Amino acid sequence: MDRQAQIDFILDHYENPRHYGAVEDATVTQKGGNPGCGDIVTFYLRLGDDSRIEDISFEGEGCTISQAASSMVTEMFHGKTLEDVENTPADVILEMLGRELAATRLKCATLGLNTTKEAVRQARRQRQL
């Protein structure tokens, strides 16, 4: 994907976030933030009996990179297992955003992924999974 296509992809996720808004019957809710930039996100996960993510969404405010990346994370993990989240390296989201565009905004780029991983840790503690 060339640079302009990457920018368009990021802007589309920022302007039209996927899975945005609270999941009312969420199993776990996790807040995350990036104080240096002012980014804030809240992720909602509803888990099935098989520890699969039946629903995932987010709410937040902040820079284009953090909000677009959070939208991408919801698409990546909808229907996936907790292990899928735990085993996903930050490089995956950096590749999706484009390393050149994300290089100076690593905390912004990984906020959604890191918050989702923390939600999984919380879910495991709650459910003893």
At 53 the pLDDT is 97
Query: For residues 81 and 83, what is the distance between their CA atoms, to the nearest angstrom?
Result: 5
Q: Which domains does the chain have, with CATH numbers?
A: 3-127 (3.90.1010.10)
At 104 the pLDDT is 86
Report DSSP letters for 62-129, one per residue: S-HHHHHHHHHHHHHHTT-BHHHHHT--HHHHHHHH-HHHHGGGHHHHHHHHHHHHHHHHHHHHHHT-
The one-digit pLDDT tens for each residue of the chain (129 residues) are 788 888 999 999 999 999 999 999 999 999 999 888 899 999 999 999 888 999 999 999 999 999 999 999 999 999 999 999 999 999 999 999 998 888 888 999 999 999 999 999 999 998 775
Tokens of 44: 């909602």
At 15 the pLDDT is 96
At 49 the pLDDT is 86
Tokens of 53: 């993510």
Q: Which residues lie closer than 8 Å to 19 by C-beta, 6 or more apart? A: 55, 56, 57, 58, 71, 74, 75, 78
Query: For residues 119 and 28, what is the distance between their CA atoms, to the nearest angstrom?
Result: 6
At 20 the pLDDT is 97
Tokens of 1: 């994907």
**pTM for the whole thing?**
0.94
- At residue 25, what is the residue type? D
